[in-house]
Structure 1
């Protein structure tokens, strides 16, 4: 299986005239996964945590939206066998793994999955980010890489640029910092320039403005680590902007 980094969007993504179709076309071009391992920008927990391994209610981790967004369901099967594999691959001195069995999928996980795999027939496991340190997340991805050979789709779910506060002061259109970071990131991914990506806060134009807090870029490093050794760099499958934010989404392998 490939490894993916995708920009997941807020719940109103479902109403966008273009983006849901792009996600659906992407998933249709993939081999059908045996299971899906999700790393979302919206779950930071240390030590690293495994979410529910049976179907539990979703986490509606957003506020102020119309009621219909809180009625969405995604009752994918749990993935206890995948959870056991993740424990074996990650558990090591200095890297404990905990279980939070009542933690359902948050919107960074289920919003794109509803569009990509609407039948909810594939087992899904979500794991937390125990840190936002890119090098540590790269190492986690490396350890998870063997799952790809077992038919597991590893998905890092974030947003390629993410500064909501700056958007409120930017007026309409795409702000320059979002466009410039997106262009730099596309070139770095295509060239497989992992060193530049790891140091994006300093090497990218407007790196700290595009990501004043790095949780939405951080899942990229899990996907990068899982794809290490692939002969080509990341291939952008989705690009463009949504409400001024870059929705670039990338496939490795």
Structure 2
């Protein structure tokens, strides 16, 4: 099996402490995949007009949130970096004429470590974090992801970490999922299953309830989807592995791209 690319929702930082169906799914996900030599993560929590890349030998753990239980701030995920992978990504970006900037000492934000500490709790697989750019068009974001498609043939896992429905101003304590969130996610699912990038790239105009699901102040959480899809442009097939919701409409979903 060629290693797939993944889109993984990171939900609330509290996922790091929670035990629910989604965390159980993440706990078991790695056992269903080939063991990666390294992991590359495009994170919603690193939105930059410049393409950034971590280059640390060992990563610090960023606690880039506030108002959470003290236990959250004690969690650590000290995964190693990889100079070899940094060089390989640099070569691929340069071949795609994409300028990039190395970042020293930033650490891994919670969009990365919250999911990885579930999937690979031993933190012994090298990780490189990459920024996203919400100002770029979906086609450009997809193209950047496609520059890294060769990594999958080298047993490197590419992940886009974000959330398809991620509007913190509309969260509730309801146990029922809002219909608008379901409607948006199902429209996205239909396009993904058909690999219909023409429609997907126009999601803000075509998808029902796009304004609620992807508000102007939260685009960065949706776009890791395009980076992850691009990394599987050579196969163009998708599979939804998990779908659930918290807080009325916060979608917890995982999509697998490629992996033949």
TM-score (norm 1): 0.94
- Equivalent in the alignment of 1:7: 9
**CA offset digits 1:47-106 (Å, max 9, x no partner):** 211113311321111110011001111111111111111111113686311111111110
Contact kept, 8 Å, 1:190 with 1:235, in 2: the verdict is: yes
- Shift in Å, 1:171: 5.2
Contact kept, 8 Å, 2:134 with 2:219, in 1: the verdict is: no
1:151–1:93 distance in 2 versus 1, CA, 3 Å: closer
- Shift in Å, 1:172: 5.2
Match of 1:234 among 234, 238, 250: 238
Size of the alignment, in residue pairs?
251
- Equivalent in the alignment of 1:66: 69
Distance in 1 (CA, whole Å) between partners of 2:65 and 2:55 is 20
- Equivalent in the alignment of 1:42: 45
Contact kept, 8 Å, 2:59 with 2:79, in 1: the verdict is: no
Q: Find out whether 1:247 has 2:259 as its counterpart.
A: no
- Shift in Å, 1:173: 2.5
- Equivalent in the alignment of 1:31: 34
The SS at the match of 1:162 is: coil
1:155–1:55 distance in 2 versus 1, CA, 3 Å: same
TM-score (norm 2): 0.91
Note the residue ranges of structure 2 that are not aligned, 5 or more in a row.
none
- Shift in Å, 1:131: 4.0
Distance in 1 (CA, whole Å) between partners of 2:126 and 2:95 is 25
Q: Find out whether 1:217 has 2:203 as its counterpart.
A: no
Note the residue ranges of structure 1 that are not aligned, 5 or more in a row.
none
- Shift in Å, 1:195: 1.3
- Shift in Å, 1:146: 0.7
- Shift in Å, 1:17: 2.1
Match of 2:142 among 122, 138, 150: 138
RMSD after superposition: 1.6
